[in-house]
């Protein structure tokens, strides 16, 4: 090349160029984290990570950021982790989650944000979470569940809202979660259940409502729960239960005075829809001595005898 001379680059310079190249940057891992590339696993728990989140490999499928000092989640805070399936954020100090914060995680199936300081979720919280199967918001500071707050959670099967400060559930809060199977609302401050609260949860199998302050349940609030196997609540009026359900238990702690009685009722009516049983034997047990109301609703197959029913109750009690 004329009079120009060419010399080999220093080894250190080659290393620096390689380190900074985009193709390699996306595969780097913090030295203090546990990274297993072969199974696309990263554990960065208890690393004092705060506001600025590190860059993670694009192929990551499991990411544990629990027990850090993260205070908020903004859109693209975690980058474009298009393959991420499990994200653990419990035991941080998260008080704010932006609308669309998880929009860049389209494959996410499990999200745990429990044990944080979240007091409010906007309407855009669930944007991009269409693949989510399990969500835990337990042990936060939520006080109200607004209408359509979980609008994009079409695939959700389990929702844990235990131990918040929830006082009110708007009638359309769960409207889009038609395949939800497990719902945990225990240890809150719920006072009233509106008629349409659970109207769309036709796949629900377990509903936990114990340790609330429920003083009013509108008649028919549980009518749509045709597949419920276990329901724990303070006060209840009527249940719509499929024949495949064998036992349904309701416990409570609200009423000051309840007249002790045992009432066996046999309802002979057509089902409200094809999923509900035509005949629903119901057993109610009211205990006055403990100052609690224990309503035990038991649905059994048509051919089950009364003796079999009593045996089932005694075992569960």
The reply to whether 254 falls in a domain is no
**pLDDT, tens digit (0-9, with 9 covering 90-100), for 296-309:** 333 322 333 343 44
In a domain, 299, yes or no: no
Is residue 226 assigned to a domain?
A: no
Range of the domain at 185: 31-189
Looking at residue 101, which CATH number applies to its domain? 3.80.10.10
Closest CA to 264 of 217, 300, 213: 300
Q: Give dist(CA 112, CA 229) in Å, integer.
A: 25
Q: Model confidence over 223-237: pLDDT tens digits?
A: 888 888 888 765 433
Q: What is the pLDDT of residue 27?
A: 56
- 92 domain residue, yes or no: yes
The model carries a pTM of 0.69
230 within a domain of the structure (yes/no):
no
Number of domains in the chain: 1
pLDDT tens sequence across 110-143 = 999 999 999 999 989 999 999 999 999 999 999 9
Q: 237 in a domain, yes or no?
A: no
Neighbours of 11 (CB within 10 A): 8
Would you place residue 313 in the very low, low, confident or very high pLDDT band (cuts 50, 70, 90)? very low
Domain annotation covers residue 281: no
């Amino acid at each position: 090349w004329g009079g120009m001379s060419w010399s080999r680059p220093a080894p250190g310079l080659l290393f620096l160029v390689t380190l900074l190249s985009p193709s390699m940057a996306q595969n780097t891992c913090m030295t203090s984290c546990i990274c297993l590339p072969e199974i696309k696993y990263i554990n960065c728990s208890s690393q004092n990570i705060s506001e600025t989140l590190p860059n993670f490999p694009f192929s990551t499928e499991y990411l544990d950021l629990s027990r850090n000092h993260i205070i908020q989640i903004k859109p693209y805070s975690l980058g474009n982790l298009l393959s991420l399936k499990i994200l653990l954020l419990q035991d941080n100090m998260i008080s704010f989650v932006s609308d669309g914060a998880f929009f860049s995680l389209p494959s996410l199936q499990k999200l745990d944000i429990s044990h944080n300081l979240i007091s409010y979720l906007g309407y855009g919280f669930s944007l991009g979470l269409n693949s989510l199967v399990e969500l835990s918001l337990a042990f936060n500071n939520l006080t109200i569940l607004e209408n359509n707050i979980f609008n994009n959670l079409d695939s959700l099967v389990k929702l844990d809202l235990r131990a918040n400060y929830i006082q009110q559930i708007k009638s359309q809060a769960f409207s889009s979660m038609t395949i939800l199977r497990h719902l945990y609302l225990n240890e809150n401050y719920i006072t009233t259940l509106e008629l349409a609260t659970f109207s769309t949860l036709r796949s629900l199998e377990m509903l936990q409502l114990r340790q609330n302050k429920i003083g009013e349940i509108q008649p028919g609030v549980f009518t749509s729960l045709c597949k419920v196997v276990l329901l724990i609540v303070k006060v209840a009026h009527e249940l719509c239960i499929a024949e495949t359900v064998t036992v349904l238990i309701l416990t409570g702690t609200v009423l000051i005075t309840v007249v002790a009685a045992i009432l066996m009722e046999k309802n002979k009516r057509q089902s409200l829809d094809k999923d509900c049983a035509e005949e629903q034997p119901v057993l109610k047990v009211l205990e006055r001595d403990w100052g609690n109301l224990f309503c035990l609703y038991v649905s059994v197959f048509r051919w089950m005898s009364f003796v079999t029913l009593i045996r089932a109750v005694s075992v569960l009690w």
